[in-house]
């Protein structure tokens, strides 16, 4: 045990780790490793959480993290080096949230430099189903340099227990999928992330689910990239899962061939949520940018209006919990 703890401390020098958690646990496929699975290490952490470092490799397992203060980091050179993958679909596990490869419900969750995948859709024998890669419902969660791979419903960014709002920050991430693949009702900010639509007859980047006008939730995408496979069809920026869905794209490069109106109704002919949702863009560029052709109920923001969605404004000035070096570099001009 001591040998691996010491080694983990050396490796940890490359990552942001609070002084309170000075001895991270190490997960490795090495024969003499103390922890061969991520879940084993999570279970071994104390109630107040701690740090887990994961060496390069593919870890086929389902990971559930109920504790707060849990910080996971891959030790490879790139996020592609360390992959946690599983293949549950909502259709066979009794619900969308239960299908997640990694589910984190505790507060102060950190995820850095690895990939989370749900490969359910890669099996042609499986019927169509929601299949979540990452589900995060804690408050003050930070996800950096992470690849999230799936198809329908890849990332669930949701509220916590009893409807408590969750603040979440994603930076320099790659998220791929097709239908509603970034969804939920958290208060989530995405900085310099790529959202990639994979080949499918329909691609919808977001399905935010703000249900009431007084809920303090929404998705903001700042300086992000929207891309898509050549075979991706009928690409939309989002559709309202609930009547007051709130999604804002700031200075986004839209390389994907998004439909002219940009936004879709949840169930055309049966729902009418576009009129109550808040869908907005500010200075979109690229092949899919089309301000004059957008859905009439959506907004093209002025400089003044866009400033209300800056990082500090969005989180009410309380951003001390976003404490990575990369965040400080990204927000110097916010």
Q: Give pLDDT tens digits along the chain (334 positions).
A: 333 333 344 344 444 444 344 489 999 999 999 999 999 999 999 999 999 999 999 999 999 999 999 999 999 999 999 999 999 999 999 999 999 999 999 999 999 999 999 999 999 999 999 999 999 999 999 999 999 999 999 999 999 988 899 999 999 999 999 999 999 999 999 999 999 999 999 999 999 999 999 999 999 999 999 999 999 999 999 999 999 999 999 999 999 999 999 999 999 999 999 999 999 999 999 999 999 999 999 999 999 999 999 999 999 999 999 975 444 444 444 4
Number of domains in the chain: 1
188 in a structural domain: yes
Could you tell me if residue 27 is inside a domain? no
**pLDDT value of residue 14:** 46
Residues that are catalytic:
153, 180
Asked if residue 46 belongs to a domain, the reply is no
Residue 5 lies in a domain: no
Check which CATH number belongs to the domain holding 306 and give it.
2.160.20.10
Strand order in the sheet with 203-208: 63-65, 102-104, 134-136, 155-157, 182-184, 203-208, 235-238
| Other residues' Cβ atoms within 10 Å of the Cβ of residue 95 | 11
β strands within 21-109, DSSP E: 25-27, 50-54, 57-60, 63-65, 70-74, 82-86, 102-104
- Going 40 to 46 to 48 to 50, the CA torsion angle's sign is negative
- Domain assignment present for residue 168? The answer is yes
Domain-located, residue 221: yes
Q: Which domain holds residue 211?
A: 79-100+113-330
Does residue 292 sit within a domain? yes
pLDDT at 323: 77
pLDDT of residue 324: 57
In a domain, 162, yes or no: yes
DSSP sequence for 223-279: S-EEEE-TTB-SEEEE--SSTT-EEEEES-EE-S-B-TT-B--SSTTT---TTTSEE
Question: What pLDDT is stored for residue 333 in this prediction?
Answer: 42
Q: What angle do CA 265, 269, 270 make, to 5 degrees?
A: 85
């Amino acid at each position: 045990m001591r040998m691996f703890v010491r080694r983990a401390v050396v490796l940890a020098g490359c990552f942001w780790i609070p002084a309170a958690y000075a001895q991270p646990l190490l997960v490795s496929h090495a024969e003499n490793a103390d922890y061969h699975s991520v879940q084993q290490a999570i279970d071994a952490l104390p109630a107040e959480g701690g740090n887990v470092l994961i060496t390069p490799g593919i870890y086929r397992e389902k990971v559930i993290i109920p504790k707060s203060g849990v910080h996971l980091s891959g030790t490879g050179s790139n996020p592609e080096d360390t992959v946690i993958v599983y293949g549950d679909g909502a259709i066979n596990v009794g619900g969308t949230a239960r299908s997640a490869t990694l589910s984190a419900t505790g507060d102060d969750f950190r995820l850095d430099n690895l990939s989370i995948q749900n490969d359910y859709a890669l099996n042609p024998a499986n019927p169509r189903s929601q299949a979540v890669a990452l589900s995060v419902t804690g408050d003050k969660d930070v996800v950096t340099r992470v690849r999230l791979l799936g198809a329908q419903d890849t990332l669930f960014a949701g509220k916590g227990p009893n409807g408590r709002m969750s603040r979440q920050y994603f930076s320099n991430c790659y998220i791929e999928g097709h239908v509603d693949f970034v969804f939920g009702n958290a208060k989530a900010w995405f900085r310099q992330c790529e959202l990639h639509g994979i080949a499918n007859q329909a691609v919808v980047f977001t399905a935010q689910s703000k249900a009431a006008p007084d809920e303090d939730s929404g998705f903001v995408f700042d300086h992000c990239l929207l891309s898509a496979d050549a075979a991706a069809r009928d690409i939309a920026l989002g559709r309202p899962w609930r009547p007051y869905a709130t999604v804002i794209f700031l200075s986004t490069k839209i390389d994907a061939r998004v439909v002219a109106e940009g936004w879709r109704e949840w169930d055309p002919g049966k729902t009418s949520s576009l009129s109550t949702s808040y869908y907005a863009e500010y200075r979109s560029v690229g092949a899919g940018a089309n301000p004059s052709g957008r859905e009439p109920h959506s907004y093209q923001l002025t400089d003044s209006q866009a400033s209300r969605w800056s990082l500090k404004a969005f989180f009410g000035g309380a951003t001390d919990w976003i404490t990575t070096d990369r965040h400080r570099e990204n927000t110097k001009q916010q």
